[in-house]
């Protein structure tokens, strides 16, 4: 139902900021100044679309929503809204409750996508490069890697659509600290190549 880019483009602005604040890495940031800076930088990139990050996000959202729709169908989604008496009571009408649930779903999916993009602080590489007005080879490579859903998969994980959900970010921990990558998604590329090699060895 909403798995088309023009509609997503209209709804995105309502969801981006809350989606960022739902990330575990943002919630757990002790330094509030750094947390606000990160939220602001990421929000600006996703809203202004200077470097194509918004387009990329909408494209991934579209793919996930189509997959969700094929598996469960939007009729089931609206049936759940109709049966959710708490939501209907809160928003007053079925229409408003449905809009709220759609917004919550999009917010959740955006958080899931950003969590996948930020593994081992991979997003930091892109944001730092953009901040320095240095759209480097590394940044271009970052975008190219993220476009490949086989290297950076983002499977749909059904979750509670209510407020307050925190989306975990998978990180590599070394000596109690997050291992920050110097090459975007290096651990995922290693796994991807290992799977290819394993596939060849079986044949």
The predicted pLDDT at position 19 comes to 87
Main-chain phi, psi angles of 179, to 5 degrees: -80, 110
The predicted pLDDT at position 117 comes to 87
Nearest Cα to 82, choosing from 73, 65, 95, 69?
Answer: 95
Nearest Cα to 157, choosing from 85, 82, 105, 91?
Answer: 105
Rounded mean pLDDT for each run of 10 residues along the chain, 203 residues in total: 68 85 72 72 80 84 80 68 79 81 86 86 79 69 84 75 72 68 79 76 57
Is the Cβ–Cβ distance between 9 and 58 less than 8 Å?
yes
Is the Cβ–Cβ distance between 148 and 56 less than 8 Å?
no
The predicted pLDDT at position 30 comes to 55
The predicted pLDDT at position 175 comes to 66
Which residues on adjacent β-strands are paired with residue 23? 167
Across 60-200, where does the E strand assignment appear? 173-174, 177-178
d(CA 38, CA 43): 8
The pTM of the whole model exceeds 0.85? no
d(CA 111, CA 155): 12
């Amino acid at each position: 139902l909403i798995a088309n880019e023009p509609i997503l483009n209209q709804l995105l602005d309502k969801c981006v900021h809350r989606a960022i604040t739902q990330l575990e890495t943002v919630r757990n940031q002790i330094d509030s100044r750094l947390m606000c800076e990160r939220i602001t930088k990421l929000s600006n990139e996703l809203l202004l679309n200077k470097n194509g990050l918004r387009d990329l996000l909408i494209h991934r959202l579209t793919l996930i929503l189509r997959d969700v729709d094929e598996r469960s169908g939007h009729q089931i989604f609206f049936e759940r809204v109709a049966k959710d008496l708490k939501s209907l009571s809160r928003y007053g009408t079925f229409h408003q409750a449905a809009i709220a649930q759609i917004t919550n779903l999009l917010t959740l999916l955006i958080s899931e996508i950003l969590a996948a993009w930020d593994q081992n602080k991979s997003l930091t590489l892109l944001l730092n490069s953009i901040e320095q007005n240095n759209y480097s080879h590394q940044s271009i490579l970052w975008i190219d890697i993220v476009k490949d859903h086989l290297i950076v998969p983002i499977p749909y994980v059904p979750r509670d659509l209510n407020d307050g959900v925190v989306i975990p970010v998978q990180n590599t921990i070394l000596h109690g600290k997050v291992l920050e990558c110097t090459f975007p998604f290096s651990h995922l590329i290693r796994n991807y190549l290992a799977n290819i090699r394993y596939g060849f060895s079986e044949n």
